[in-house]
Structure 1
Amino acid sequence: MAKTDFQNDVVNRIRQLRIAQNVSQIGLANIIDVSNGQIGNIESPKFQHKYTLKHLDLIAKYFGVSITYLLTGDKKEIDIDNLIKYLIKYDE
């Protein structure tokens, strides 16, 4: 099963942050404590690999953004109920 469009959007936002801040796939792998090839698998549309919620938290903290931004692309915060809806949608 491939990633959903929503999951790919999240992965692409993270890729854009990674590239903009000159962080390699290996560098990001070290930040979130996964194997070097795992980021490539996550960024590839061919594989169903995706970031876990723990990874999203670590990535958000490292890049100084909110999990809301990673999930929605919107820099304004949303209420917790809506955030939970996005988290559920991401995890499906």
Structure 2
Amino acid sequence: MAGKKSKFELKIVENVKIIRKSLSKPQTYIGMILDVSDGYIGQIESEKWPAMYTLDQLNKIALDFNCSPKDFMPIEGVVEGDSIEN
């Protein structure tokens, strides 16, 4: 699927989104942390765009959210043919 995120990437994005929402932070807040537009964060959170967080961006988010970057990673490896559920 050229141009779209892998299931592994989607799981990372979903985990960031879950933690972001649990802290009542909007996409705009993430954009501010990373010095990017909230529209770009919307692209990252969309399955339709290839945009993805870099490891350095995940680290910045983790520092702000007072968590580990590992919290954004799936518990187990994600096989592309499988569903993206934990």
TM-score (norm 1): 0.74
Which structure 1 residue ranges, 5 or more long, are not aligned? 75-92
- Give 1:18 deviation, angstroms: 0.9
Aligned-partner SS, 2:17 = helix
SS in structure 1 at match of 2:19: helix
Q: Structure 1 segments of 4 or more deviating over 4 A?
A: none
Kindly state the Cα deviation for residue 73 of structure 1 after the two structures are TM-superposed.
Answer: 4.5
Q: Alpha-carbon deviation of 1:64?
A: 1.3
User: Aligned residues, how many?
Assistant: 74
Q: Distance in 1 between matches of 2:75 and 2:69?
A: 9
Larger helix percent:
1
Q: Percent identity?
A: 32
Mind listing any 5+ residue stretches in structure 2 that lack a counterpart?
77-86
Higher relative contact order (CA 8 A, sep 6+): 2
